[in-house]
Structures are given as structure tokens and as C-alpha cells.
């Protein structure tokens, strides 16, 4: 049975994507925040969008440092991810409290987190006010992965190297099954395009005949 939900909760229908731990550094301070408002924006140049509410400590860390890093966690960091989203870096040093081990990035000052399977280092390319968030557009400066977790796409052989996905509230998931879709052959695509064009032609011809018939009926009625 279908039922309506609040428009502001429509975002949850798009949930289930990987959660990112956004790490930042500014004037000797470090911070990390879980974020799901993350999306690819461009392939060339490689641009990643991160939407952050201005009330978040991470917002100003990105604004002033003009860089950030995206860390892709696994189920190993499940409870850390939830905790990191429940406290603010403006009052607490999250990395010290959680004792999460880090390592140096190659191109940015933001720390990278152990226990993750992917890392993306970005410099801020642009920033836009989008509704009640700021969309930071990051230009990818470096990217790396755990080779057992990723090879062109995420590998799902080992449950411990699957990226953690966020469903909403305090609910998370990991991918389970890899499904491979059939790739249509060029000949099949050409056939379908030609069939579609023929169908459009038939519809246009039917519409023309219908107009002619209606026009003739109109002339007869006036006569």
C-alpha cells in the first residue's frame, strides 16, 4: 500500500549509498564528519561534490582550508561512524577521542583514516549555497584504494572490505550480491532504434490521417 511521506524525507529514498568520512585540517586542528551528501560531478576534470550544512564544524574547516579528504569506511568502523556524526568537532577532538589511527595524505593536509578501503583527496574548486547547505566542489588531487576491495568496481568477495552504506537514522548496510547485467549488442541497439523510428513514423502517419478525417468532417458539418 502506497502512502505519502514528508517532502523533507524524500532524501531517505535515495539512501543506501556509501557513507563517506570527510576529514579536514586547519591551523593544526583536525576533524572528521560522516557525510552521505556526496556525489561525483565531473569526470574531466574529476570533480566531487560534498554538501555540508553551515552549522557543521566541517563546513568552516573546508571553507578556510580549501581542501578535504573523503574516506570510505567498512563495517569495522560502524560504531565509530555513528559516534562521529553524533558529536561536534567544535567542542571535542574527535580523532583523539575515538583513537582512530591515521596516515598522511599525498596532496592535502587532511589526515586519512585507517580501517577504510578508499581515499579521495580534494582541493576546493568552487562552493555554492544550495538551499540550506553549501555544496563544496572538490577537484580530485589524488585517490587510492585497498586493492583487495576495489578493481574498477567494488569487489564483494570479503565482507570485511565492503564499503559501509548508510540507510538513515542509525541503520547501515553492506553490499551482498554482485549482479551483472547483459550488455546489449550493437546490432540489437540498431534494430531497436530502427523499430522505434518506424513506430514514430507510423504514429505520425496515423495522426496526419486523423487530422485529415477530422478536417473533412468539419467541412461537411459546415456545409
Please determine, for residue 201, whether its predicted confidence score (pLDDT) is greater than 80: no
Please determine, for residue 199, whether its predicted confidence score (pLDDT) is greater than 80: no
Mean pLDDT of 48-52: 97
Q: Which residues contact 146 (CB under 8 A, 6 or more apart)?
A: 117, 118, 161
Residue 138's pLDDT is what? 98
Q: Which of 21-30, 94-103, 208-217 has the lowest mean pLDDT?
A: 208-217
Same domain for 161 and 105, yes or no, is: yes
As a whole-number percent, the residues of the chain with pLDDT over 90 amount to 63
Decide which of 140 and 207 is more confident.
Answer: 140
Same domain for 64 and 151, yes or no, is: yes
Q: How far apart are CA 180 and CA 24, in angstroms?
A: 37
Instruction: Quickly state the pLDDT bin for 194 (edges 50, 70, 90).
Output: confident
Residue 144's pLDDT is what? 96
At 20 the three-state DSSP class reads strand
As a whole-number percent, the residues of the chain with pLDDT over 70 amount to 91
Same domain for 116 and 212, yes or no, is: no
Closest to 52 measured CA to CA, from 166, 109, 132, 169: 132
Same domain for 111 and 84, yes or no, is: yes
**Is residue 167 assigned to a domain?**
yes
Please determine, for residue 216, whether its predicted confidence score (pLDDT) is greater than 70: no
216: cell is 473533412
Which domain does 220 fall in, by range?
182-223
At 63 the three-state DSSP class reads helix
Instruction: Quickly state the pLDDT bin for 206 (edges 50, 70, 90).
Output: low
Residue 220's pLDDT is what? 60
Same domain for 220 and 150, yes or no, is: no
Provide the mean pLDDT of the chain: 89
Find the CATH number of the domain harbouring 139.
2.30.110.10
Same domain for 158 and 222, yes or no, is: no
C-alpha dihedral over 6, 10, 13, 14, to 10 degrees?
-160
pTM above 0.85, yes or no: no
Peptide bond into 45 cis (omega under 30): yes
C-alpha to C-alpha distances, 194 to 72, 197, 204, nearest whole angstrom: 44, 5, 15
Residue 219's pLDDT is what? 63
Count the domains in the chain: 2
Amino acid at each position: 500500500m502506497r502512502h505519502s511521506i514528508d517532502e523533507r524525507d524524500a532524501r531517505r529514498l535515495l539512501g543506501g549509498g556509501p557513507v563517506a568520512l570527510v576529514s579536514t585540517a586547519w591551523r593544526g586542528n583536525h576533524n572528521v564528519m560522516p557525510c552521505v551528501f556526496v556525489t561525483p560531478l565531473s569526470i574531466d576534470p574529476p570533480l566531487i561534490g560534498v554538501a555540508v550544512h553551515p552549522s557543521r564544524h566541517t563546513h568552516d574547516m573546508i571553507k578556510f582550508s580549501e581542501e578535504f579528504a573523503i574516506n570510505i569506511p567498512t563495517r569495522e568502523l560502524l560504531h565509530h561512524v555513528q559516534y562521529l556524526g553524533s558529536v561536534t568537532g567544535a567542542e571535542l577532538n574527535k580523532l583523539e577521542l575515538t583513537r582512530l589511527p591515521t596516515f598522511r595524505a599525498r596532496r592535502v593536509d587532511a589526515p586519512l583514516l585507517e580501517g577504510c578501503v578508499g581515499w579521495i583527496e580534494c582541493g576546493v574548486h568552487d562552493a555554492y549555497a544550495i538551499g540550506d547547505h553549501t555544496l563544496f566542489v572538490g577537484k580530485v588531487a589524488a585517490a587510492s584504494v585497498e586493492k583487495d576491495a576495489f578493481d574498477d568496481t567494488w569487489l564483494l568477495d570479503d565482507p570485511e572490505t565492503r564499503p559501509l552504506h548508510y540507510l538513515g537514522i542509525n541503520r547501515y548496510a553492506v553490499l551482498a550480491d554482485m549482479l551483472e547485467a547483459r550488455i546489449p549488442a550493437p546490432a540489437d541497439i540498431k534494430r531497436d532504434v530502427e523499430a522505434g523510428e518506424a513506430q514514430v513514423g507510423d504514429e505520425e502517419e496515423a495522426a496526419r490521417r486523423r487530422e485529415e478525417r477530422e478536417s473533412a468532417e468539419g467541412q461537411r458539418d459546415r456545409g
